[in-house]
Structure 1
Amino acid sequence: MKKPLIGISGSTTHLENGLFAGYNRCVLDQTYIDAVICADGIPYILPFNTDDEIIEEMVKNVDAIILSGGNDIFPLLYGEEPKEKLGEIFPDRDKFETILINTAVKLKKPILGICRGHQLINVTFGGTLHQDLSYGENVTIKHFQKAKWNVFTHSISIDKNSFLNDIFEVSGIGFVNSFHHQIINKIAPGFKVIAKSSDNVIEAIENLDSENLILGIQWHPEMMAATDKYAHKIFKKFIDYIKDNKKYK
């Protein structure tokens, strides 16, 4: 069977030093690529750009998309002015990935959003964010950890009627890493919360449309996938879903 082609959104960085100082470079953490390969998919980097037509064509050529982590999301997109604790934003990347999302939805291609990608899915469909953990209610867990990236640091409770239900060994309970300072406030219409931390921070969302999966995950399973079987299973189940819902030649 042909392996599905998984488009992963890239970003850009400005090189300050070295041989190519002064140039912008397309960037994506290697862990996304490795996680897709190990789950029997073919990774395909979707390079950041601002050409609407090119972005749409990129989506047409892949079987699904993964939205990678990165900068904070421009708060005007969800009707708020920037607050004191807002981090660095990248509005052009917001536009780039919003087009990726809308095109994938139009073409009924599955979407997996990770960290920032999870948050952008919510914003794109009409939800809102807390610009910092401190603006949320009763947030007591340290969600921006200093632990190693591949180590789980807190538990989550999982909806038993969700995509994530059979990922972890004990039904309804999972353990995740945590490196974020923004969180979902109001969930977008047409989505449901499928995982929460013990202080009620939304850790995962899923769309209610059974025809095409849109999944948002607040933690970073790609950074754990090489050493944690449960993180690996998220990518494996996502790619198996694509295989089951597409006829390959």
Structure 2
Amino acid sequence: MSKKPIIGISGSVQISEKGLFAGHRRACVGNNYVEAVIAAGGIPFIIPINADEDVIRGAVDAIDALIMSGGHDVSPICYNEEPMQKLEATFLERDKFDSLLIGEAQKKGKPILGICRGVQILNVVNGGTLYQDVSYAKDVFIQHFQKTKSDDLSHSVKIDKNSFLGDIFDGEETGLINSFHHQILKDVAPGFRVIAQSPDGAIEGIQKDCDDNLIVGLQWHPELLAANNIPAQKIFKKFIKYVTEK
């Protein structure tokens, strides 16, 4: 592929709360994703939430790879559990859209990078489950939703050097990341393996073992770090380099 690859970014919906357009739905995605893709050499292509399977198939046809962005809690309905007390806001419309998007991308062999909610829905779509809150997981003690700025580094992760992340932190087995989530992966989906964990054992990254495609998910937010953080920049550059050479 000689041209810049087109990187689809899954969108969400923002609802205006006040004024003339109160209740009005706006298609949206965090601009940090857009900026990170451009800086890494890709062309961002925002895919808005919709329920039309033909439109979703057409969108996946039009892109070279897919980034699943962050957002709401994944509904436990998607992994056959009842809602627990600490579950936060869910968005079933987006769960369905994301599931169709991931399924279509996997079917067509498009590389996928899941970020925060993106890794969670990627895991669930492929048969995994989630802890609805970190407090329901045994021995998890790290602050996983940091109280500092979004581009501050919060805690460490240990990475699998034989994975997509192997050279991200200059070949080191640990690195520093930011953290903005209250749910974590529980049962890892069949065919995926853990490639990053925080010191308390929380799963911070997974990767699908397949020779002909790259499917990886990260629990942190490299797009919020990418303006100034080299490892975060490397994540997007390595992903887009893979897409370009695929």
| TM-score when normalising by structure 1 | 0.97
Residue-by-residue CA offset, 1:164-202 (whole Å, 9 max, x unaligned): 010112421111000000000010000000000000000
Look up the match of 2:123: 122
The answer to whether residue 45 in structure 2 is matched with residue 38 in structure 1 is no
Look up the match of 2:12: 11
C-alpha separation in 2, matches of 1:211 and 1:185: 27
Question: Which one-letter code corresponds to 1:31 in the other structure?
Answer: N
Look up the match of 1:62: 63
Tell me the CA shift for residue 76 of structure 1.
Answer: 1.5
Question: Which one-letter code corresponds to 1:94 in the other structure?
Answer: D
Q: How is 1:1-249 mapped onto 2 (pairs within 5 angstroms)?
A: 1-245=2-246
Question: Which one-letter code corresponds to 1:65 in the other structure?
Answer: L
The count of aligned residue pairs is 245
C-alpha separation in 2, matches of 1:80 and 1:206: 24
8 Å CA contact retained: 2:87, 2:133: yes
C-alpha separation in 2, matches of 1:63 and 1:101: 13
Runs of at least 4 residues off by over 2 Å: 18-22
8 Å CA contact retained: 2:15, 2:25: yes
Tell me the CA shift for residue 20 of structure 1.
Answer: 2.6
C-alpha separation in 1, matches of 2:240 and 2:206: 18
SS at match of 1:105: helix
Tell me the CA shift for residue 112 of structure 1.
Answer: 0.4
More off after superposition, 120-129 vs 20-29: 20-29
The percentage of counterpart residues that share the same residue type is 54
8 Å CA contact retained: 2:161, 2:171: no
C-alpha separation in 1, matches of 2:143 and 2:189: 25
C-alpha separation in 2, matches of 1:210 and 1:172: 23
Tell me the CA shift for residue 22 of structure 1.
Answer: 2.6
Tell me the CA shift for residue 16 of structure 1.
Answer: 1.3
C-alpha separation in 1, matches of 2:65 and 2:230: 22
C-alpha separation in 1, matches of 2:224 and 2:178: 9
SS at match of 1:37: helix
Tell me the CA shift for residue 124 of structure 1.
Answer: 0.5
